[in-house]
Structure 1
Amino acid sequence: MVHRARVRVGPGPRAGGGDVTAAELVSRLTRRSRSNFYYAFLVLPRPRREALYAVYAFCRTVDDIADLGPERGASPAAMRAALDGWRREVARCYAGDGAPEHPIAQSLRAAVQRYPIPRDVLEAIIDGVAMDVDGATFETAEDLYPYCYRVASAVGLASIEIFGYTDPRAREYAVSLGIALQLTNILRDVGVDARAGRVYLPQADLRDCGVTAEDLRAGRYTPGFVAVMERHAARARDYFLRARAAYPRADARSLVAAEIMGRIYHALLREIEARRFRVLDQRVVVPAPRKAAIALRCWAAARVPGAARLARVAL
């Protein structure tokens, strides 16, 4: 999942005075931070945008549970219980009787009633957050990919059902693009995550390059660190290429929001590489004007014959 512009909405699915709707939550998140999602949301018709708001708000709310931790008074058991509460809310979204309790879950139910969002992809998102709660580490890149699938590709698989598509390759596109986005997130947030006690970089890579978790927490920028990041960036590039190979051009119009996200994140990856992975003490971002330009080019490429070359400029 794409992190980390947080808006606290509570650790579990309960209704009440402190809760916000999906639209309110996403509006606060995206408008305040001009996040990468903001530019993708802009191009969607209102019904699809509201459904995507519900999915995104669900993802952010569940993702926040992993950030509670003992320092905020939540034990691992309490966080798992909160995730179980969201599993029940997802079940209610698909049940014929009994409405979800949380306002965001209610919005999610409306989305799954309107669009064929598979239940298993929403449950996979919760499973991914549970891995964070359990403090999962990953020995190899192959071990990392299932986590990326759960927290990012599953979001993409839910999203394409809202966007609409005719070519079944759209699912392969969503899976590969989700992994590419999450691998890029890991590059961007490696320092922040390490200081929060999370290391997503494969342990085998760290050992091979002589880098420790303490080095990451302390922000030690060394040749070994650069070597680890180069390996990881190469994997992200590979998944961007896989997504490009699977991209169903017949569905260009409906998938334009996904393309905007992918190209903004590809630009972020290139920016991180251009700075030689100096991410331990600073957050690398794509400037807002560049994001807007990418969004415009993708929109034009999906609608104007011969404009596809404009979108390539954004890469």
Structure 2
Amino acid sequence: MTATATPAQNPESAAPALPAAGSSFYTAMRLLPKERREAMYAVYAFCRAVDDVADDGGTRAVRQAELDRWRADIDALYAGRPAPRVCDLVEPVRRFGLKREDFQAVIDGMAMDAVEDIVAPDAETLDLYCDRVASAVGRLSVRIFGMPEADGIRLAWHQGRALQLTNILRDIDEDAERGRLYLPREKLQAIGLTDPTPVQAISHPRIGEVCISLAREAEEHYEATWEIIRRSPRKATKAARLMAAAYHLYLKAVVDRGWAMPRARVKPGKLALLGVVLRHGLI
């Protein structure tokens, strides 16, 4: 659920993936100084590659085996024996003190999708998933941004969850088509749904109650994110500010659209996104 791309035919020698021009991530990363920007692109390429494995990497057995190879490659990277496909991470790890356990957490998060399709996880499992696929990426990112350690980790915790819950709400129909449902079990049970299929859940006449409740949780994480950003060095939070503001536009768009079927795919207007860039990207 974090990113989509066509898997490389030869992952050992594939060129690093770059974010799509015009995307919120691309715009945010372009604001960084060269060495930090290149470090973020290397982290992005790693995340994109393992996400491709989880989503489109073949049979479950093949996907699990490939994720195990990525785990081994990260271990070898930290042992001073980097495989070709992680060589671009050598300098970011050295320069910014990136943690092995955060890379491994990202892989573990992708494995949660690869082992079996996630369907109505309990709240604890959903939070673990968000931590692995989003907040772990945030922990890598805040070190590259130059955030103070304690507030950087807190920012990653809240912003990762805010962004991932936004993704979940934005993508409920697309995820259901893949046989996945990330809405928490407890909230579904509250509207009378027990062990639903993804399509049954998203078609339920009261599904809006579940989505609105999850949107409120996302809003709480956005509020905590901005509280941390406001007390942090502005230079170190420029990319985080732009990402938080841009993703919040997506959350607002899906809430404003509502949850009645059929649901149109939403995207913030170009002027709104330009306003985010002007407000947070130029200062």
Q: TM-score, normalised by structure 1?
A: 0.82
What's the CA shift for 1:239? 1.2
What's the CA shift for 1:38? 1.6
What's the CA shift for 1:276? 1.0
Q: Does 1:9 align with 2:28?
A: no
For 1:129 and 1:254, how far apart are their aligned partners in 2?
Answer: 28
8 Å contact 2:119–2:197 — kept in the other structure?
no
Equivalent residues, number? 281
8 Å contact 2:142–2:152 — kept in the other structure?
yes
Q: Name structure 1 gaps, 5 residues minimum.
A: 304-315
* Equivalent position of 2:243 in the other structure: 261
Closer/same/farther in 2, CA of residues 231 and 53 from structure 1, 3 Å limit: same
* Equivalent position of 2:20 in the other structure: 30
User: AA paired with 2:55?
Assistant: D
Q: Name structure 2 gaps, 5 residues minimum.
A: none
1:52 to 31, 40, 61: 40
Closer/same/farther in 2, CA of residues 279 and 168 from structure 1, 3 Å limit: farther
2:30 to 39, 42, 62: 42
Closer/same/farther in 2, CA of residues 58 and 139 from structure 1, 3 Å limit: closer
For 1:67 and 1:250, how far apart are their aligned partners in 2?
Answer: 36
2:219 to 203, 226, 237: 237
Closer/same/farther in 2, CA of residues 167 and 116 from structure 1, 3 Å limit: closer
1:270 to 249, 252, 258: 252
Aligned-pair identity in percent equals: 36
1:253-310, CA deviations, whole angstroms, 9 ceiling, x for partnerless residues? 111101110111111111111111368643221233322320220134xx4xxxxxxx
8 Å contact 2:54–2:63 — kept in the other structure?
yes
* Equivalent position of 2:105 in the other structure: 124
What's the CA shift for 1:138? 4.6
What's the CA shift for 1:167? 5.6
Q: Does 1:101 align with 2:84?
A: yes
User: AA paired with 2:272?
Assistant: R
8 Å contact 1:170–1:247 — kept in the other structure?
no
For 2:197 and 2:142, how far apart are their aligned partners in 1?
Answer: 39
* Equivalent position of 2:131 in the other structure: 149
8 Å contact 1:219–1:280 — kept in the other structure?
no
* Equivalent position of 2:65 in the other structure: 81
Q: TM-score, normalised by structure 2?
A: 0.91
What is the root-mean-square deviation of aligned Cα atoms in Å? 2.2
8 Å contact 2:162–2:218 — kept in the other structure?
yes
